[in-house]
Amino acid sequence: MRPLLFIILLVAVVNSATAQDKKVEFTSFQLSETVYMLKGSGGNVGISTGQDGLYIIDDQVRPVTSQLLQAIQKISDSPIRFVINTHYHGDHVGGNEAIGGTGTVIIAHDNIRKRMSSEQVSIFRNSTTPAYTKEALPVMTFNDQMSLHLNGETATAYYVANGHTDGDSIIHFPASNVIHMGDMYFNGLYPYVDLDAGGSIQGMITAADLALTMADESTHIIPGHGPLATVEELKTYRDFLKKARANVQTLIDQHMTLAQVIAAKPTVQWDEELGKTWITPAQFVTFIYNSLKAIHHYTPATAAETGTK
Ligand SMILES: [Zn+2]
């Protein structure tokens, strides 16, 4: 028993060292005098820095936290006063524990704190995420909207119910003319709609509609994933979501099962462009179908594709 245990421990240490040491390339984009977007490993980070200090939106995956902090320091060496989390997924709150433990105030929607405080089960990912430590939890929560009055502008987080999850906000910087969409917007790939955590296609569309009411032609749109976007690209994305939803609804109206809807390929016109990176066409169709049928969990794609229940 002893030699075996030793080997397992050694492998565990090596694995964790590899994850910690993996070098990530960070790229920053200055969008206004005070607002930046930072790309690294996980959801895109928003940064506001200026006369009143520094705050950020989302903090990527846990293993890259020290590299993320170094990348932020290249933009500003001020301490981080606030973190706003757009939603609870690990690629957006991974740095919370290390950053929250240093006195930075973490702000998020009520449902983010609720989900991070308890074990979460995802059928889609076939995974269980344990509750986060106290340091990682948002200490200031809101139920509708919240504003920060710093660096010469009032940035407002707007909660949009049941979109990517049941806890997403989009953040508007009106003076900088920037909107951070969190994972309500995946630019260049099919979006993940986390049905297991209260997500729905309807809420995704509501979020895109809301952002478009606040945008003009020169607004910078920060997506949760993918490259920085223009308003035109966000409009195209919103129209695509609406058309895809309508296509699936037409097939539901013909009393088709999920397997039949997937087989009918209602998203075929976008599959090549959006369905190759992560979320597959069958998975995306399942997100829409279940949203429209008010099925509040993911249906495993394999069962759907084979037509079994
Ligand atoms: Zn997410």
Most confident of 20-24, 44-48, 299-303: 44-48
224 Cα to the center of ligand 1, angstroms: 7
92 Cα to the center of ligand 1, angstroms: 7
User: What are 263-277's pLDDT values in tens digits?
Assistant: 999 999 999 999 999
- Angle at 187 (CA atoms; ends 186, 188), nearest 5 degrees: 115
Could you tell me the pLDDT band of residue 6, with boundaries at 50, 70 and 90?
A: very low
Look over the chain and give the mean of its residue pLDDT values, rounded to a whole number: 92
193 Cα to the center of ligand 1, angstroms: 8
31 Cα to the center of ligand 1, angstroms: 23
User: What are 147-202's pLDDT values in tens digits?
Assistant: 999 999 999 999 999 999 999 999 999 999 999 999 999 999 999 999 999 999 99
Model pLDDT, residue 20: 53
116 Cα to the center of ligand 1, angstroms: 13
* 20-243: CATH topology: Metallo-beta-lactamase; Chain A (3.60.15)
144 Cα to the center of ligand 1, angstroms: 19
113 Cα to the center of ligand 1, angstroms: 15
The residues pairing with 259 across neighbouring beta strands, listed in sequence order, are none
The residues pairing with 35 across neighbouring beta strands, listed in sequence order, are 48
The radius of gyration computed from the CA coordinates of the chain, to the nearest angstrom, equals 20
51 Cα to the center of ligand 1, angstroms: 31
The residues pairing with 180 across neighbouring beta strands, listed in sequence order, are 171, 222
Select from 193, 89, 74, 198 the least CA-distant residue to 136.
89
User: What are 238-288's pLDDT values in tens digits?
Assistant: 999 999 999 999 999 999 999 999 999 999 999 999 999 999 999 999 999
pLDDT of 301 strictly over 90: no
Model pLDDT, residue 4: 38
Q: Are 264 and 244 spatial neighbours (Cβ–Cβ below 8 Å)?
A: no
151 Cα to the center of ligand 1, angstroms: 28
For the chain, domain boundaries: 20-243
11 Cα to the center of ligand 1, angstroms: 30
184 Cα to the center of ligand 1, angstroms: 8
Model pLDDT, residue 230: 98
User: What are 105-147's pLDDT values in tens digits?
Assistant: 999 999 999 999 999 999 999 999 999 999 999 999 999 999 9
14 Cα to the center of ligand 1, angstroms: 28
125 Cα to the center of ligand 1, angstroms: 12
203 Cα to the center of ligand 1, angstroms: 14
Q: What is the rounded distance in angstroms from the CA atom of residue 131 to the CA atom of residue 151?
A: 34
Could you tell me the pLDDT band of residue 303, with boundaries at 50, 70 and 90?
A: low
183 Cα to the center of ligand 1, angstroms: 5
192 Cα to the center of ligand 1, angstroms: 7
Q: Are 21 and 65 spatial neighbours (Cβ–Cβ below 8 Å)?
A: no
42 Cα to the center of ligand 1, angstroms: 9
164 Cα to the center of ligand 1, angstroms: 7
Residues 6 or more apart whose Cβ sits within 8 Å of residue 232: 217
Nearest 5°: phi and psi at 168? -85, 145
pLDDT of 7 strictly over 70: no
